[in-house]
Structure 1
Amino acid sequence: MKPDTRQSPTPQPHPHSSASPKQLDAFAARLIRRKARQLVGRAGFTRSDRDDIEQELALKLLKQLSAFDPGEAHWHVFVTTVVERYAASLLRDKRAEKRDHRRATSLHVLIETGDNGPVELAETVGRREQDARLGRDPRSDEERAQLAGDVADVLADLPADLRDVAERLKHDSVSQVARDLGLPRTTLLRRMEHVRRAFEGAGLRDYL
């Protein structure tokens, strides 16, 4: 008889103990590390947050081990479900935090932009480009900050191929993007439609 590979190899930890992927089997550890990498760059998560994300995902999974029933689901399915759901929860919470922060942030605060030194946040939004794209009167500072953040969130959530298309279309024509990517125009138009739906779903129809 073959051994039951669906059984969890990890014991249930104390509810308040710290956790890391090292405490889990190879599959769970790889999934957690991959998911943490995917969250970096989305909704304000940075590389410095990756270890914390991994620990939170590992702890959540360890706390859920008592719910694992090998008679109902394979171990890999169970692990994937728990990790994906909690990662989505982390993303929602971070976005909510960002929205609250953006409401309270002035565009006149100084931010670091690398070699150029500190500049006002307003300078990074691209006021004239924004107004020209929207084809209407200039927005207030707060509205532009909100829009810039919302657009960045939508772009970050797109699959890599759609995000690439959206970024290229900021400065290139449809024909040029199709040539650069080596895509038939019909394929590019389908991808553009997916991008459009993503923006409309986020309430950003006017940005298109």
Structure 2
Amino acid sequence: MAKRQTTDTPTPDVVNAYAMRMVRVKAIELCEKPEFAGDEREDIEQELTLFLLRQAGSFDPDKSTLNTFINRVIRSRVCTLQRDRVRKRRLPASFGGVKSTADTIGRGCEATTIQETLTPTDRDRRLGRESRDPNADIRLAIDVRNAIESLPTELQPLARSLMIHRRVEATEILKISQRAYTRQLREIGEHFAALGLNFDDQSDHENGPTD
């Protein structure tokens, strides 16, 4: 196993006072929704904070202010989590879901499933299977960010896009062919593996829709 690398690329301190306030407010809002009954507010806050940390390297000061970036990232994650939970509730009982006429979620939300956005360790924690070190996920998010920043320049856009989008969306946004996508994804996976990380566990591409 290769030693994990670090880079000298500066990244913003995205977990500032504004971010913490927004994370708290959004977590409270989600906990008040029936789809999130039984969820701990602290778990949702950690989920939003970790996602924000993973996206820190995507911040471009030429395109927006830091707080605007934070607002957009957190709202995007909240929207996805809402869609995830609604879809899960609509699954047939044989698949572990509950049919529901859930309220319509705000426009612009992308539909996925909650299982696609959580790593196996996240799922274990939510099911109460283990007691987790709250700093472990933060360290992992930092390692993932550093791994992406140490990728060859041509691979970084796809790696960052797959942290937010699924395959079809990423290829459309980046305007790359299926062949280029497959090649770049393989090289990204090899790079992560050399650093002792599993890219499939960190991204949303694995269970995305097919062409």
TM category, shorter = 0.3 to 0.5
RCO comparison, higher one (Cα < 8 Å, 6+): 2
Question: TM-score, with normalisation over the residues of structure 1?
Answer: 0.40
Question: Which structure has the larger Rg?
Answer: 1
Question: TM-score, with normalisation over the residues of structure 2?
Answer: 0.39
